[in-house]
Structure 1
Amino acid sequence: MKRNRFFALCLAFVMTLSLAACGNSEVPADSAPAELEEPKSSENPQLEVLEWNLAATLAEDHPMTIALNAFADAFAEETAGRVQIKVYPNMMLGSETEQVEMARAGTAAMVVGGLSTLAVYDDGLSVYSLPYIFRSYDDCEEYLSDSEYGDNIWESFRQLTNLRFVALELNGARCLSTKNVQVQSVKDLNGVKIRCMDAPLWQDVFTAFGAVPVPIAFTELYVALQTGVVEGQDNPINVSYAQKFYEVQKNIYKTEHNYNTTFVLINDDCWNQLTADEQAVFNDLVDEYLYDYYYELYWPYEGEAIQVMEEAGVRIWEQDEFDIQSFWDAADGMINEKYMTNAAYADSINSIREYFQY
């Protein structure tokens, strides 16, 4: 698995017959880009050129997409053009679920997916979305990407899905925001309507905090905040910035009750098409670009988001400015009551608590 260097550097579519994931798969003509680069010729004529696509979720200018493109370019260069990866950002190939299915089938060689999507295939992954299951970015990355537990998690997932773990990208932490309600502890959320995702786990989170969870589609959230249908929401700071939620919210609390974990995965059959030397190069470049370079880009990106929002009059509350312990305690109480009774969840929860001595 990957070294924990997080804080060190603070479709069904392919090109006609020429662009494929693991081999040559046709795609609808109306979904193909207008212009394509000619494939570079491999210096090793005995090995076929592999033309892969990578199904990504975020916009072209997001640090994750930039890092994925840099990785793809570097891998093509290091393999003398034998392995050429085309990154399709912004869910161009379909919804996240559809893209994961494409990668499972080999129509896409690689895919980016979040925990909620991957948990459809392995419900045990849902445990890592529980509030405060990890208490820091560093702990989250270490456990899921750089530990024996992580190895076991992803080996099990590979056997279930034919998808192999490549990298974990942390895309911010979910933070509570409100318009008029000032929050110093969970007591101040009593009866406050907070938007949540339409899933039992997320409703449990805000119920535990004393709020009234209101499931609302993400695409409808801005208007719901603007009109007062809900009084608050939770998203990573960079998402609140990108979606301009700060225009209709005046307080952002760094509750960081959940880390937005996104995973890069590769179809196992595609992986096995690489030579041993290419696999070693692939892993080295993952460290260089999908960890180090990504975070070099991400932290200034989030810093810019904070600056713009503060200039717009938003107050960013640090954890020492409100009672973060009350949030931890409320989350632990809910987890102990509702999730420790599930043996599969309990084993994972206990292993995390023991590992980090929470």
Structure 2
Amino acid sequence: MKMRFLRLCAVGLALLLATTACSSGVSGKAETGKTLVLSLNQSETHPSYIALTEFGERLKAAMDGRWDVKVYPNETLGAQQEVIQLVSDGSVDMAVASGTQLENLNPHFGVLNLPTTFKSIDHQMSVIKDKSIVGDLFTSLEASKHLTVLGGLTQGDRNLYTATGPIKKPADLHGMKIRVQESDVHIKMVNAMGGSATPMSYGEVYTALQSGVLDGAENNEISYVTQHHNEVAKYVARTRHLVGLDYMLINSETYNGMTPEDRKIFDAEWSKTMTEHTTLWKKDTARAIQQAEDSGTKFNDVDKAAFDKALAPVVNGSLKSPADRELYDAIQEANQ
């Protein structure tokens, strides 16, 4: 109850801030500027917070103060599901949301969240910026939800890590309880790789690994270290089975209500932000790997072809329509 009260206060403060420099575009007139309220579920030390804060600073300078971005980290304005609704109704201007959240609004987003869809971070980000591939998908929620997807921020390569020994091929995972997110695709993904998928709240993973309730989990290297999982699971297999993605949402009326000149500047600064975030992510990943190795973590390569072969039925079974297949094929062609 106390947390809910604090969130309501934060939303109220955000709304007050947003209206102090606002000329509404809802009436059809172009907006002359405002402070955009942006909700983020990460902390102030995360690459997303750093990149988005710098985005706001650059935008304010480029727009002579007409537009600005205020980032609210740590789910201050609420969990992702409720914040998406706040962006939809215009109470909050922008939010970072995971792929699984957008799948609930349009299942075609699931194509971008499948294992092996992206071969690398660079492949992923080139697709995210290519309107000929994702343009229709990113505007698909405008009419029904008043949500425009501006692009995305990488979550990096996801790998398997275990407490009991190195994993080199799918057979090595036999009988191992591996934590996954509460997602049908993620459950199928780990089961296909040979493990026993175990959905569990993220905050419970450390204790479960420590006590032996879990044998392992899967995530990117930054989360592996920041959540201290390197203390209780010393073996990381570079499966790179999934390149994760967060999406940047903006209220469609706010976005489409910008003057053409301001929107051009906004789009340019946002594109720079995606590039900057990717650079920060790679640097922080290298730092996390070094920190993990210094703490005793053993990284090893795997039989990547064997893992990809095991995951192929999960991918093919998830492409449920010709539109899904067309999107997936376009993404693969972009990597050629």
Same topology, TM > 0.5: yes
What percentage of aligned pairs have identical amino acids? 26
Q: CA RMSD in A?
A: 2.3
Return closer, same or farther for 1:85/1:175 CA change in 2, 3 Å cut-off: same
Partner Cα distance (2:224, 2:169) in 1: 22
Partner Cα distance (1:153, 1:60) in 2: 30
Aligned length: 322
Residue 354 of structure 1: how far off its partner (Å)? 4.9
Q: 2:291 aligns with which of 299, 308, 311?
A: 308
Deviations 1:205-237 (A, max 9, x none): 011112111111111111111111110100111
Partner of 1:19, secondary structure, is helix
Question: Are 2:336 and 1:352 aligned?
Answer: no
Residue 23 of structure 1: how far off its partner (Å)? 5.2
Residue 142 of structure 1: how far off its partner (Å)? 2.1
Q: Is the 8 A contact 2:32 2:258 kept in 1?
A: no
Q: Is the 8 A contact 2:121 2:243 kept in 1?
A: yes
Match of 2:312 in 1: 332
Question: Are 2:225 and 1:246 aligned?
Answer: no
Q: Which runs of 4+ in 1 moved over 3 A?
A: 21-25, 46-49, 340-357
Match of 1:3 in 2: none
Return closer, same or farther for 1:328/1:162 CA change in 2, 3 Å cut-off: same
Residue 17 of structure 1: how far off its partner (Å)? 6.7
Partner Cα distance (2:319, 2:278) in 1: 34
Residue 353 of structure 1: how far off its partner (Å)? 4.1
Match of 1:15 in 2: 13
What amino acid sits opposite 1:195 in the alignment? R
Partner Cα distance (2:14, 2:162) in 1: 49
Return closer, same or farther for 1:100/1:135 CA change in 2, 3 Å cut-off: same
Q: Is the 8 A contact 1:18 1:24 kept in 2?
A: no
Partner Cα distance (2:190, 2:14) in 1: 48
Q: Is the 8 A contact 2:152 2:247 kept in 1?
A: yes
Q: Is the 8 A contact 2:237 2:299 kept in 1?
A: yes
Residue 295 of structure 1: how far off its partner (Å)? 2.9
Return closer, same or farther for 1:73/1:99 CA change in 2, 3 Å cut-off: same
Return closer, same or farther for 1:341/1:106 CA change in 2, 3 Å cut-off: closer
Question: Are 2:274 and 1:291 aligned?
Answer: yes
Q: 1:142 aligns with which of 107, 118, 126?
A: 126
Partner of 2:205, secondary structure, is helix
Partner Cα distance (2:154, 2:95) in 1: 16
Pairs within 5 Å for 1:95-110: 95-110=79-94
Partner Cα distance (2:335, 2:72) in 1: 37
Return closer, same or farther for 1:24/1:139 CA change in 2, 3 Å cut-off: same
What amino acid sits opposite 1:349 in the alignment? Y
* TM-score for both structures, normalised by structure 1: 0.83
Partner Cα distance (1:100, 1:293) in 2: 24
Partner Cα distance (2:96, 2:70) in 1: 13
Q: Is the 8 A contact 1:104 1:163 kept in 2?
A: yes
Deviations 1:17-62 (A, max 9, x none): 741269599xxxxxxxxxxxxxxxxxxxx97551321111211111
Q: 2:191 aligns with which of 184, 191, 207?
A: 207
Unaligned ranges ≥5, structure 2: 1-7, 25-29
Partner of 2:178, secondary structure, is strand
Partner of 1:210, secondary structure, is coil
Question: Are 2:104 and 1:120 aligned?
Answer: yes
Partner Cα distance (1:342, 1:176) in 2: 30
Deviations 1:96-124 (A, max 9, x none): 11111111111111111110111111012
Return closer, same or farther for 1:126/1:292 CA change in 2, 3 Å cut-off: closer
Partner Cα distance (2:70, 2:48) in 1: 14
Partner of 1:195, secondary structure, is strand
Return closer, same or farther for 1:17/1:333 CA change in 2, 3 Å cut-off: closer
Return closer, same or farther for 1:167/1:344 CA change in 2, 3 Å cut-off: closer
Residue 304 of structure 1: how far off its partner (Å)? 1.3
Match of 2:5 in 1: none
Residue 182 of structure 1: how far off its partner (Å)? 2.0
What amino acid sits opposite 2:315 in the alignment? I
Return closer, same or farther for 1:298/1:53 CA change in 2, 3 Å cut-off: same
The more displaced of 115-124 and 129-138 is: 129-138
Q: 2:265 aligns with which of 253, 263, 281?
A: 281
* TM-score for both structures, normalised by structure 2: 0.88
Q: Is the 8 A contact 1:17 1:24 kept in 2?
A: no
Partner of 2:141, secondary structure, is helix
Residue 323 of structure 1: how far off its partner (Å)? 0.6
Match of 1:191 in 2: 175
Match of 2:241 in 1: 257
Q: Is the 8 A contact 1:177 1:250 kept in 2?
A: yes
Q: Is the 8 A contact 1:63 1:297 kept in 2?
A: yes
Q: Is the 8 A contact 1:78 1:281 kept in 2?
A: yes
Match of 2:4 in 1: none
Residue 356 of structure 1: how far off its partner (Å)? 4.2
Return closer, same or farther for 1:49/1:199 CA change in 2, 3 Å cut-off: closer
